[in-house]
């Protein structure tokens, strides 16, 4: 029998596995909302525990060991090595009124006038909000939406803007936050202790977003216009951004490269109907820079490269593979061109599909238990034990998902394989 780590790495390399490996909460797009997690623990009649929210923006819970064992999870995130002391956490209340704990260094602030919770940057600026009618924080400030940066001073402009952008500035106990802590020997030792304590595959969340970083800073409309109308400025921005990412990558893997098995990059290149950009635009602006980062990551450490990339990106997959990608997530099967049989036919043996195991838009929240079982069984059967597939529900389990459906999904995977 394979260990979880062996199983995951074999699947990523396209080799046969003893059973399909399972990911849940191995990264920030395969988790369970804190509200759904509380209901799940109650449904499973597990001991009552305080729910800890490790991703403040998406309101994702830390999955306890008893749940990881119950569902035979083969992955774990590097961030689980950090914020182990009770003093790292502070009491808060989830949008449904139930108690939880949030990272003390990212505790929301109440704005009673506008009936919302807010998160502030270190500068004091409000950069994210959670209205009382919502379940997640959303970005409410774009640093370059109303002004153009100084393209002769981007080495200072970009970090300053990132410090006031929600997806970059809100810390969490995840692997990305660990990069900021890596100069402290205690955090390196905590990471090594996590590695020694588990035979699960360890995922390190790095980021390295390119298209999305432009959207985070300029806002989507402005960045699309920059790419299309002022390509010289776009190239200048992306050159400096890539250099900054590479500098961070050197530090990150110097400290954690021997601890992780898979390094996770992010760039949502797709939408429901297809890519956000044409293949030609991807090749001009993003492919060479992805290739630089992914090649360097593999030079620095014995890691596989994952890209978290939502949407219908099938037209870009050949180029992503050519740039050095090993596995793509989340395989958003409701998008154009992203059904598993089609992807297997055209890309099996060249790319591992990490996800697509159960539709989180319609089936998981709205289907019956039998619907979930049938759908999950069909998805898993496409790849079976031949490798090239890691099971994950398409994206995070939302607050409204019935706990019995979550159980049916994971139990079906184990029964099928």
Which residue segments constitute the domains of the chain, with CATH numbers given? 4-87+149-416 (3.20.20.210)
% of the chain residues with pLDDT over 90: 91
The token pair at 193 is 């202790």
Residues 186-232 have pLDDT tens digits of 888 999 999 999 999 999 999 999 999 999 999 999 999 999 999 99
State the pLDDT at residue 200. 98
- 270 forms beta bridges with 275
% of the chain residues with pLDDT over 70: 97
Q: Is 207 left (phi over 0), alpha (psi -120 to 50) or beta?
A: left
Residues 264-275 have pLDDT tens digits of 999 999 999 999
∠ CA 365-60-110, rounded to 5°: 110
State the pLDDT at residue 185. 82
Over residues 33-61, the mean pLDDT reads 96
The token pair at 175 is 């692997």
Closest CA to 177 of 83, 254, 275: 83
Closest CA to 416 of 363, 357, 362, 359: 357
Residues 158-172 have pLDDT tens digits of 999 999 999 999 877
The token pair at 237 is 């921005």
Q: Report the distance separating Cα 382 and Cα 335, nearest Å.
A: 18
State the pLDDT at residue 156. 97
What integer best gives the mean pLDDT of the chain?
A: 95
Over residues 139-150, the mean pLDDT reads 97
Among the residue ranges 1-10, 50-59, 184-193, 224-233, the one predicted with the least confidence is 184-193
State the pLDDT at residue 415. 85
Over residues 1-27, the mean pLDDT reads 97
Closest CA to 162 of 144, 140, 181: 144
| Beta pairing class for 262-266 and 304-308 | parallel
Q: How many CA atoms lie within 13 A of 205 on its CB side?
A: 28
Residues 369-400 have pLDDT tens digits of 999 999 999 999 999 888 999 999 999 999 99
pLDDT bracket for residue 34 (50, 70, 90): very high
| pLDDT for 147 beyond 80 | yes
State the pLDDT at residue 176. 47
State the pLDDT at residue 24. 98
DSSP for 307-352? EE--S--GGGHHHHHHTT--EEE---TTSTT--HHHHHHHHTTT-E
Residues 78-102 have pLDDT tens digits of 999 988 889 989 999 999 999 999 9
Over residues 14-26, the mean pLDDT reads 97
């Amino acid at each position: 029998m394979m260990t979880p780590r062996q199983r995951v790495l074999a699947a990523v390399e396209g080799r046969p596995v003893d059973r399909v490996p399972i990911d849940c909460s191995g990264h920030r797009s395969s988790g369970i909302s804190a509200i759904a997690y509380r209901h799940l623990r109650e449904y499973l009649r597990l001991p009552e525990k305080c729910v800890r929210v490790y991703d403040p923006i998406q309101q994702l819970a830390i999955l306890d060991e008893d749940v990881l064992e119950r569902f035979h999870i083969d992955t774990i995130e590097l961030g689980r090595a950090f914020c182990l002391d009770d003093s790292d956490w502070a009491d808060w209340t989830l949008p449904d009124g139930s108690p939880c704990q949030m990272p003390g260094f990212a505790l929301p602030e109440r704005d009673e006038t506008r009936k919302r919770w807010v998160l502030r940057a270190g500068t004091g600026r409000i950069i994210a909000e959670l209205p009382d009618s919502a379940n997640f924080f959303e970005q409410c400030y774009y640093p370059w939406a109303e002004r153009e940066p100084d393209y002769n001073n981007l080495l200072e402009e970009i970090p300053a803007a990132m410090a006031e952008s929600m997806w970059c500035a809100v810390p969490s106990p995840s692997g990305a936050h660990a990069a900021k802590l890596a100069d402290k020997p205690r955090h390196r030792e905590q990471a090594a202790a996590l590695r020694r304590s588990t035979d699960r595959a360890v995922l390190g969340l790095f980021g390295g977003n390119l298209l999305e970083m432009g959207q985070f800073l300029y806002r989507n409309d402005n960045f699309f216009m920059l790419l299309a109308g002022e390509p010289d400025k776009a190239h200048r921005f992306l050159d400096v951004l890539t250099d900054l990412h590479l500098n961070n990558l050197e530090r990150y893997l110097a400290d954690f490269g021997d601890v992780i098995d898979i390094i996770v990059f992010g760039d949502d290149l797709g939408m429901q109907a297809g890519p956000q950009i044409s293949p030609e635009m991807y090749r001009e602006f993003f492919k060479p820079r992805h290739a630089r980062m992914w090649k360097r990551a593999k030079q620095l450490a014995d890691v596989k490269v994952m890209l978290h990339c939502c949407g219908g990106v099938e037209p870009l997959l050949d180029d992503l593979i050519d740039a050095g990608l090993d596995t793509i997530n989340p395989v958003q099967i409701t998008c154009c061109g992203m059904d598993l049989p089609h992807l297997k036919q055209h890309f099996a043996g060249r790319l591992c599909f990490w996800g697509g195991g159960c539709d989180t838009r319609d089936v998981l929240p709205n289907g019956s238990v039998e619907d979930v079982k049938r759908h999950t069984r069909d998805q898993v059967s496409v790849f079976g034990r031949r490798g090239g597939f890691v099971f994950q529900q398409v994206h995070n389990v939302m607050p409204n998902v019935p706990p019995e459906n979550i159980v049916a999904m994971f139990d079906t995977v184990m029964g099928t394989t």
